[in-house]
Structure 1
Amino acid sequence: MQNETNQSDENATQSPANQPGWIKMALDFGPLIVFFTAFKLGDLFVATGVFMAASILAMITSKIVFGKIAAMLKFNVVVVMIMGGLTLYLQDETFVKMKLTIINSVMALILLFGMLRGKLYLKMVMEMAIEMDDAGWKVFSRNWIIYMFVMAGVNELIWRTQSTEFWVNFKTFGYMGATMVFMIGHAPLFMKYLPEDNVK
């Protein structure tokens, strides 16, 4: 009986729903802030190495705190390790600057592939945070795919035409701000497609 109680307490501790929201936010944005700070104190190569270490730390922390590592986090860390590793090995900024393009493009293609197969992958990832019926998820998935392709293009345009400092500022603040505006702009959609049992 005591073992069952301890197991229950352990599961509750590992459940994301029982963890403070700031922990997940720190895991999502912590490595990015560390990257920005390291760039300001050093250069892009220093920042890349620090970002790689911070990303690994975020993955380990997620496993310890939540008991699992989200698929998106795993994918992001793999891309960070590959592109960051090439950047440091070849001493070429191109690879780390293309990381955002690759992540956005690959995720957009995965979501598009899912929709063509009648699968709502975005719903599987975000349904704990957003409640909508499938019609709403289809619209949101379509818009998210378009957004990611657009942001991949914007990233390519910026790193190819602007200074490294400008690109770092865009990566740290511009992309985050654009995503927040995108999500806030979809508030009417979230309300429109609330599941019927949630509509009073």
Structure 2
Amino acid sequence: MKQLIDFIPLLLFLIVYKTDPRMVDLAGHSFELGGIFSATKVLIASSVIVYGLLFLKQRKLEKGQWLTLIACLVFGSLTLAFHSETFLKWKAPVVNWLFALAFAGSHFIGKQLLIKRMMGHALTLPDPIWAKLNVAWVVFFLFCGAANLFVAFTYEQFWVDFKVFGSLAMTLLFLVAQGIYLSRHLHDSDRTTPKTED
């Protein structure tokens, strides 16, 4: 569910991007609506609102949510400042590769793998399974970053659609595959765990 929250600003971005450019009057001010630059403004504003509400509710944001918000503010602001969508095209690859770096780095830094820190409270798995799962996340984020970069600069007319629906589809497929993989090992773990008597 937490991963899906990240797609709310992206969906709003897509809707505004697909809107035919027009001027809209709101509270005595005229705003351009439609196209990449107004969509970028909506992406920044909606990200601040979504993550701001999460912060108020949870009293904190996870590191990944901070990274996503900061990247949105940085790359979105650069896009608007230089009036070039190239900066925004780099946001998804950079964020995905930073996530990959964080998961990979946890093999060498810290007491626990990042995936175990995230899911260890809910699952009990042998260390080799945690290691494989962590590597799978590294590969997933590397692939997502490369796919976003390739589509953004090769099939420019589709990059916004891919940024939203392609990323969502890849995430859902990966989570399903992870669930299937974990279900095998949870089943094995249940059979090998001795029962305690009350």
The equivalent of 2:113 in structure 1 is 120
Aligned twin of 2:132: 139
Higher helix residue share: 1
The one-letter code matched in structure 2 to 1:116 is F
Aligned to 2:142: 149
Deviation at 1:127, TM superposition (A): 4.0
Q: Residue type of the partner of 1:124?
A: R
Distance 1:40 1:95 in 2: 19
Corresponding position: 1:83 with 2:75:
yes
Uncovered stretches (5+) of structure 1, i.e. residues with no partner = 1-20
Structure 1 residue corresponding to 2:92, chosen from 85, 97, 100: 100
Matched residue of 1:116: which SS? coil
Structure 2 unmatched ranges of 5 or more:
20-33
Return the match for 1:179 from 161, 171, 177: 171
After TM superposition, what 4+ stretches of structure 1 lie above 6 angstroms from structure 2? Answer: 197-200
Q: Contact 1:62/1:69 (CA < 8 Å) preserved in 2?
A: yes
What's the RMSD between the two structures over aligned residues? Answer: 2.2
1:8-29 CA distances to partner (integer Å, 9 max, x unpaired)?
xxxxxxxxxxxxx6xx577332
Instruction: Encode CA deviations 1:120-163: one digit per residue, 9 max, x unaligned.
Output: 112223445x5241332211110110111111111111111112
Instruction: Encode CA deviations 1:4-60: one digit per residue, 9 max, x unaligned.
Output: xxxxxxxxxxxxxxxxx6xx5773321111111111121111111100011111111
Residues 126 and 167 of structure 1: CA distance in aligned 2, closer, same or farther (over 3 Å): farther
C-alpha distance after superposition, 1:60-83 (max 9, x if no partner): 100222222122111111111111
The 2-side partners of 1:157 and 1:99 are apart by 13
Percent pairwise identity:
27
Bigger Rg over Cα: 2
Q: Which residue does 1:30 correspond to in 2?
A: 8
Deviations 1:99-131 (A, max 9, x none): 000001111011111113463112223445x52
Higher mean Cα deviation, 41-50 or 25-34? 25-34
Residue of structure 1 in register with 2:42 after alignment: 50
Summarize the Cα distance change of 1:161–1:115 in structure 2 as closer, same or farther, 3 Å threshold: same
Number of matched residues?
Answer: 176
Q: Report the AA paired with residue 67 of structure 1.
A: R
Indicate the structure with greater strand content.
2
Structure 2 matches for 1:181-196, cutoff 5 A?
181-194=173-186, 196=189
1:63 aligns with 2:55: yes
Residue equivalent to 1:8: none
Give the TM-score normalised by structure 2. 0.80
